[in-house]
Amino acid sequence: MKRYSAWQLFKQGLTGQTGWSPAWRQPDPKPAYDVIIIGGGGHGLATAYYLAKIHGITNVALLEKGWIGGGNSGRNTTIVRSNYFVEGNTAFYEHSLKLWEGLSQDLNYNVMFSQRGHLNLFFTPGQRDALMRRYNIMRLNGIDGEFLNREQVQKMVPHLNYGNQARLPIMGGFLQARAGTARHDAVNWGYARAASALGVDIIQNCEVTGFIKKAGRIAGVETNRGEIRAEKIGMAVAGSTSVLAGLAGLGKLPIESHKLQAFVSEPIKPFLDTVVVYGAGHGHFYISQSDKGGMVFGGNIDGYNSYAQKGNLPIYTDVASCAMNVMPALGRIKLLRQWAGIMDMSMDGSPFITKTDMPGFYLNAGWCYGGFKAIPGSGWCFAHTIAHDRPHEINSLLTLDRYAHGRQIDESGHGPYPKAH
Ligand SMILES: Cc1cc2nc3c(=O)[nH]c(=O)nc-3n(C[C@H](O)[C@H](O)[C@H](O)COP(=O)(O)OP(=O)(O)OC[C@H]3O[C@@H](n4cnc5c(N)ncnc54)[C@H](O)[C@@H]3O)c2cc1C
């Protein structure tokens, strides 16, 4: 693999861009590997990369039923942050953010991580106090955060609704300055290229249709391209988790599949250089501006179980009204596209990176709204769990049996209602 560099760019510019090689190899599957990773989203790709890079396990196949990044990892609104509150999440997401900060250099691929800040608006003293508690926990864990009053918010984001008649009168905001956005495709492609260069076989159009077991442990998978054997198999298939867990005989998992929509407007001149977010009552809204100029935004999940990768009108109108509450200027631009992804919603809103009851079979799931930011940390922890057959300290609480022991990691305090997280 050619290293990407300024010199390469210059050289290829002079030679008509004819000297680039494909970013990753396209091998046929071998009959057996040391490890199989199912799912070519960010989590699967990052896991394969860190297995090879950190643990020296390079005889790895990553199996993807479609094309890499065709799932949620290429469909999301790309917000990256580590402003988490509950033990189990705080250290994990901060570890992930630190990996983001060096990711482009590590992968030799520009993932366009832009630390433009993440501003959480508040409208009532109650919301301010809740954010203050979050702030205190973050600061105690060495994570950055700062409170802005109304005037400071207005200076930073002048285009919000600061009028006296505003439905949601802005009191202030809670800023994480190190947070931001990244380019989702680039993250998938960067991990795929770097993993492939270390020897990982990235196999697209390869759907896992069944599991092979031997003497009570996992022994391989059946796919539309034949059987592939491995003594260790990790699964990171997001919205398809319940389906594959059923095929593997894991039983019913505490995960539901819901869809989440996203929206992008026509491109406009630079308008917003941070991520703005709020939650108020049922309303939930987040927005940023992409490098191409489109306003990228979203809100709540559709609220009922589905495997459709398109959304429905009620949430469409709900998100539009949430947008108009704080940013009325948006009403004057045209919507370009709308789409959805299948979310793996867990019962407490927090993920699983864990061994399962079946020896050799590992689970990565339950990412809800928040798995894009988790990609580096999740891959890093899942690779450790698979390589050592035990979790790293950072993901030791992200287990499947936590509900049985009353150790929910309920970040938003909604209880066991996936659609509310
Ligand atoms: C609209 C939207 C907005 C979002 N916004 C954000 C955000 O701003 N910030 C954030 O942190 N998170 C966000 N998320 C969540 C985030 O995108 C996901 O949590 C994350 O991308 C999940 O990554 P993954 O690798 O687990 O899953 P995916 O990227 O979905 O990858 C799973 C892969 O498994 C493959 N697969 C399924 N079944 C099989 C099979 N049988 N055999 C082989 N392969 C299979 C699928 O084809 C898919 O490619 C958003 C999600 C959506 C949908």
* 342 — pLDDT class (breaks 50, 70, 90): very high
Residue 3 to residue 310: CA distance in whole angstroms: 38
Output the CA 126–ligand 1 centroid distance in Å: 33
* 179 — pLDDT class (breaks 50, 70, 90): very high
- What was the pLDDT predicted at 35? 98
Task: Compute the average pLDDT of residues 44-62.
Answer: 98
Q: For ligand 1, atom 39, which residue shows the shortest CA distance? A: 65
Does position 412 have pLDDT exceeding 90, yes or no? no
Task: Compute the average pLDDT of residues 254-282.
Answer: 94
Instruction: Tell whether ligand 1 has an atom less than 6 A from the beta carbon of residue 298.
Output: yes
Query: Kindly report the CA angle at 254 between 42 and 260, in degrees rounded to 5?
Result: 50
Q: What is the mean pLDDT of the chain?
A: 96
Q: For ligand 1, atom 9, which residue shows the shortest CA distance? A: 79
Output the CA 116–ligand 1 centroid distance in Å: 23
Q: What is the pLDDT of residues 206-259, one digit of tens each?
A: 999 999 999 999 999 999 999 999 999 999 999 999 999 999 999 999 999 999
Instruction: Tell whether ligand 1 has an atom less than 6 A from the beta carbon of residue 191.
Output: no
Does position 2 have pLDDT exceeding 90, yes or no? no
> What's the burial of 292, exposed, middle or buried (CB within 10 Å: 0-12/13-18/19+)?
exposed
Residue 228 to residue 345: CA distance in whole angstroms: 29
Output the CA 238–ligand 1 centroid distance in Å: 5
Model-level pTM greater than 0.85?
yes
Task: Compute the average pLDDT of residues 317-332.
Answer: 94
Instruction: Tell whether ligand 1 has an atom less than 6 A from the beta carbon of residue 244.
Output: yes
Task: Compute the average pLDDT of residues 49-68.
Answer: 98
Residue 272 to residue 153: CA distance in whole angstroms: 12
Q: For ligand 1, atom 22, which residue shows the shortest CA distance? A: 371
Percent of all residues in the chain with a pLDDT value above 70, rounded to a whole number: 100
203: left (phi over 0), alpha (psi -120 to 50) or beta: beta
Q: What is the pLDDT of residues 130-140, one digit of tens each?
A: 999 999 999 99
Task: Compute the average pLDDT of residues 164-179.
Answer: 95
- What was the pLDDT predicted at 290? 96
